[in-house]
Chain A
């Protein structure tokens, strides 16, 4: 009987690891991952290094790196109340809307799993907001919230709730609510799809066993369903959190950061600093600060996710 090495594509990949020392073999192996390493180098490594360089130098969009300025840009950015409050708003917005959307998306997914027949049709419906370009999402909601001719004002006036149109996007708090509604419209469907998938991994037997043991609906949900999907839910929350920190398009279209600076998110503030004011050095310092803040703000969610992951095993 001949023994053949079957593992060339198996988990151990013996045939490859056995000849690891051969420089040509090593080159061949490196070639496989070269494309992704190249992509990461261009989109992550190079920007990071470049950004560090910009943050410590005098730079404009036309002429970067003109002289070392030390931590000047960081100091100015950290003393700028407008930038600091933009960061604060971004963090508060991301943490709260992600949690709200997770709760809502999970509830809708629970509802869809109960609707066996209509589930598929509804899944294709919730796919549409996810596929809509954020700029168009912003425009659709802008038409709804517009003071003159907007659907919301028109409806409220027609039903006699208000007599004068409200400028939803011109009011600091209402403008945030408008952005949050548009964000919710666009991203909750994504969460529904992910929660739907997580719920579908629960083995039917577990539910039946609980039913036989006489657990009621709430008990089944709290003691069986929720613990079983806790790990995927934590990763979905993390994913949405990251997406929320990138908030830009909706602010650009719906409010352009206004009224005043009321809805200026950190990303939007940096964008204006770099692209409109050409102050690239300062924008770079602000970007680094914001990236650090995102890292810190997502840390609890990362930790939670890791704890659930470990419990799984």
Chain B
């Protein structure tokens, strides 16, 4: 009897939380299915559903192009971040190269607001001819997310059983071979989680993207979507449809990889 009461209480406490976190996305979905008149009545669900907003959104703006740009840039950036961070994180932790100062400097560099780097990086991209290119944006994201990847990868490396690496060292494997052939396969869930998180960070980024890209050929999705509301006649239905189309790839990844992602995010803080 008491147990049932406890469950009821917990259920009652959970319901509004679930409702609150589901609300904006469900409302986006509802608005994307509304007709033009329906949008203005302020009810949650549409009175008459229509799918017209979806093709219209893709016609009104180059949504597909924006998604392609975002995916290209963020995947390139994700690979770059991992390639740069993994050997260094391993060296700091296991080979005692770089020492504590490197991890301290890496983490504290994350404290500065990105606006600090905006203007200098603008000039860097301009000078190197990479302004308004996908490669330039990928390069910036790839470098900028190194501290995050360092923070996420270190706990996985630390939990790696030392004996296996030592056994490989006896067999004559050099540290780089040990990293690639022993460590990487064992901590691959951690690497995958880190890769997804830094890729999603790059996919979602807005400040740099809005300053460093200014043509439809390079604009990423957040920038492209933000232009929707600059129009004089904001079409809420189309904006909602385009937003959902942009969120969908990230949600699919989250759905399939949630176990890795939660543990990837959680390990960093717990240590």
Contacts and interface: CB of A to CB of B under 8 A. Distances in A.
Q: Do A and B come from one complex?
A: yes
Interface of A: 4, 6-13, 16-17, 29-30, 32-40, 42-44, 46-48, 50-51, 54, 61, 64, 108, 111, 114-115, 118, 122-137, 139-144, 146, 148-151, 153-155, 157-158, 165, 185, 189-190, 193-194, 196-198, 200-201, 232, 235-236, 239, 242, 245-246, 248-249, 252-253, 267, 270-271, 274-275, 280, 283-284, 287, 290-291, 294-295, 298
Nearest to B93: A11
A136 B105 contact: no
Contacts, number: 295
B126 to A, nearest CB: 9
A136 B243 contact: yes
Given A154-B42, A190-B265, 16 more contacts: A6-B166, A39-B144, A40-B146, A44-B112, A47-B119, A124-B254, A124-B255, A127-B261, A132-B247, A135-B226, A136-B246, A154-B41, A193-B266, A232-B271, A236-B269, A248-B114
B18 interface: yes
A306 to B, nearest CB: 12
A53 B96 CA distance: 35
A129 B28 CA distance: 13
A155 B254 CA distance: 31
A128 B113 CA distance: 24
B87 A133 contact: no
Nearest to A42: B143
Nearest to B32: A143
Q: Would you call the interface of chain B mostly helix, strand, loop, or mixed?
A: helix
A84 B250 CA distance: 38
Interface string B7-26: 00010011001101111110
Given A139-B239, A242-B111, A47 B116 contact: yes
B28 A248 contact: no
Contact of B10 (A111, A252, A295): A111
A32 B112 contact: no
13 contacts: A4-B170, A9-B162, A37-B102, A125-B18, A131-B200, A140-B27, A143-B28, A165-B42, A197-B270, A246-B114, A248-B206, A287-B113, A287-B119
Contacts of B27: 140, 143-144, 151
B260 to A, nearest CB: 11
A193 B193 CA distance: 14
B23 to A, nearest CB: 8
B137 interface: no
Given A236-B269, A248-B206, A125 B42 contact: no
Nearest to B22: A125
B195 interface: no
A39 B117 CA distance: 13
Contacts of A274: 118-119
A157 B42 contact: yes
Nearest to B249: A131
Contact of A155 (B42, B87, B116, B266): B42
Nearest to A46: B120
Contact of B113 (A197, A246, A280): A246
A232 B42 contact: no
A127 B254 contact: yes
B226 A267 contact: no
A140 B84 contact: no
Contacts of B210: 252, 275
Given A33-B97, A133-B246, A287-B115, A42 B124 contact: yes
Contacts of B266: 193-194, 196-197
Ranked nearest first, the 7 interchain pairs of A and B with the lowest CB-CB distance are A154-B42, A197-B266, A32-B91, A140-B24, A50-B120, A36-B88, A133-B204
Given A33-B97, A252-B206, A291-B112, A9 B40 contact: no
Contacts of A136: 28, 222, 225, 243, 246-247
B63 interface: no
Contacts of A118: 14
A248 B106 CA distance: 23
Contacts of B22: 125
A153 B21 contact: no
Contacts of A295: 111
B98 A140 contact: no
